[in-house]
Structures are given as structure tokens and as C-alpha cells.
A and B are shown apart, each in its own frame.
Chain A
């Protein structure tokens, strides 16, 4: 059972454009929703995260939008740069320190 569904699988965006990645979850017990960024040959690195008590969180060019009633959340990368080219994973967990359930990943390519 895939508890976190991520789309699209891949995305090509021009430099300066907006990258949007969407995730949907099924388990209403999830209360932590992070996004991880992974470069080839490296482990995933925490990019930004949100708890369900807020609908939006922004850190620099990265914004998470969260819709609790729809059980969906998304990552927006504003002013996309070639250095943002990576694979992005959404995830969800129940309670602090608990295991994360990951989406399938989105490979983002930013063209100069």
C-alpha cells in the first residue's frame, strides 16, 4: 500500500521558472511532512518541512503548501536554478522520531 503518492515523476523547467511537485497521503495520523533533496551519489538531505497546524511554510526560494482537508501538500521552487537539478522526495511520519514514509521521487532538471 503506497501511503504517499508523488507526482510528477520528472519535471523540466527553464531557469527562473517555478517547479511544482505534489504529494498526497492517505494516513490521517501523519503529522510531519518533510521534503528531501537528493543529488546523484549522495544521501537525501532535508530541505524544508511542515506540520499540519500551518498551511504554508517558506524558506528562501522553497515553499511548502499544505491542505489538510485534501490530504495533499506540495513543494514550490521559485526562480529555479540549474543547481536545483536533483531528485526531490516528499515524506510523512507519525510523531517525532518515527519512521518516514517516502513518495516515489521527482527528478527535476532546470535548463539554463
Chain B
């Protein structure tokens, strides 16, 4: 596709439920990033995939958060046993190997009630 696609665009879930957020990067982009943006706040790094290398998981806030990337393309961010503090916009971005800067999707707004 022409841009980074994220789905769903909005998700409301009950506290304690698991959620899966999907990111479809730009074709040919080997790098994929997940960020979290809380209301009125900056962007918090979560996880980074680069090709077949082991992902950089250093930003994941707890073991309830995990992510995988299948076939070097689509990525899924999973949050288990959601808490109200998980409410935020989850942004995905992709980029080309060896280049600076990347392209963001429009995000998934997660609301935990």
C-alpha cells in the first residue's frame, strides 16, 4: 500500500480483556516500530523490528505487552489483561534499512473501560 495501515482505528475494550492491534507497513520497508502516545503526551517507544534480527523490546512497559512480525511484513501488538492506564493511541511506523526517518500510520486509539 501507499502508506502504513493500522487496524482497527478505534478499539474499546473492557479492563482485563486481551487486545490485538495490527500494522501493515509500507511494502519494501524492513524496519517496523511501535510507539504509544498517551493523551497530550509525547511518543513512547515500545518495540522495533529490523529484518530478521532479534527485535529491540526495550520499551515494552510490562510483560503484558508483546509483539510479533510475521514474514517480515505485518506486525501485531498484543496487550494482555488490559488496564485503564493502557488507554492511548498506539502508532506504528516503518522505514527502509539504512535510512533515517520513517513513516507513521494514523494509529489505533485504544480505550480501556
* B-binding residues in A (CB < 8 A): 6, 32, 34, 36, 41-46, 49, 89, 91, 93, 96-105
Whether A97 contacts B100 by the Cβ 8 Å rule is yes
Report the interface size for chain B: residues with CB under 8 A from the other chain.
28
| Nearest CB on A from B108, distance (A) | 10
Whether B41 contacts A43 by the Cβ 8 Å rule is no
* A-binding residues in B (CB < 8 A): 4, 31, 33, 35, 41-45, 48, 50, 56, 59, 91, 93, 95-107
Whether B106 contacts A97 by the Cβ 8 Å rule is no
Instruction: List chain B residues, Cβ under 8 A from A101.
Output: 45
Whether A41 contacts B106 by the Cβ 8 Å rule is yes
Given contacts A34-B100, A99-B33, whether A43 and B42 have CB atoms under 8 Å apart is: no
Given contacts A43-B93, A43-B107, A46-B103, whether A102 and B50 have CB atoms under 8 Å apart is: no
Instruction: List chain A residues, Cβ under 8 A from B56.
Output: 99
Whether B100 contacts A43 by the Cβ 8 Å rule is no
Whether B101 contacts A43 by the Cβ 8 Å rule is no
Q: Which of A32, A43, A99, A105 contacts B104 (CB 8 A)?
A: A43
Instruction: List chain B residues, Cβ under 8 A from A43.
Output: 4, 91, 93, 104-107
| Nearest CB on B from A51, distance (A) | 8
Given contacts A89-B42, A97-B95, A101-B45, whether A42 and B100 have CB atoms under 8 Å apart is: no
Nearest 6 Cβ contacts at the A-B interface: A43-B104, A102-B43, A104-B42, A32-B100, A102-B42, A43-B106
Whether B104 contacts A34 by the Cβ 8 Å rule is no
| Nearest CB on B from A75, distance (A) | 15
State in angstroms the CA–CA spacing of A45 and B105 once bound together: 9
Instruction: List chain A residues, Cβ under 8 A from B48.
Output: 98-99
Instruction: List chain A residues, Cβ under 8 A from B43.
Output: 44, 89, 91, 100, 102
| Nearest CB on B from A102, distance (A) | 4
The chain A residue with its CB closest to the CB of B58 is A99
Whether B93 contacts A96 by the Cβ 8 Å rule is no
State in angstroms the CA–CA spacing of A98 and B49 once bound together: 10
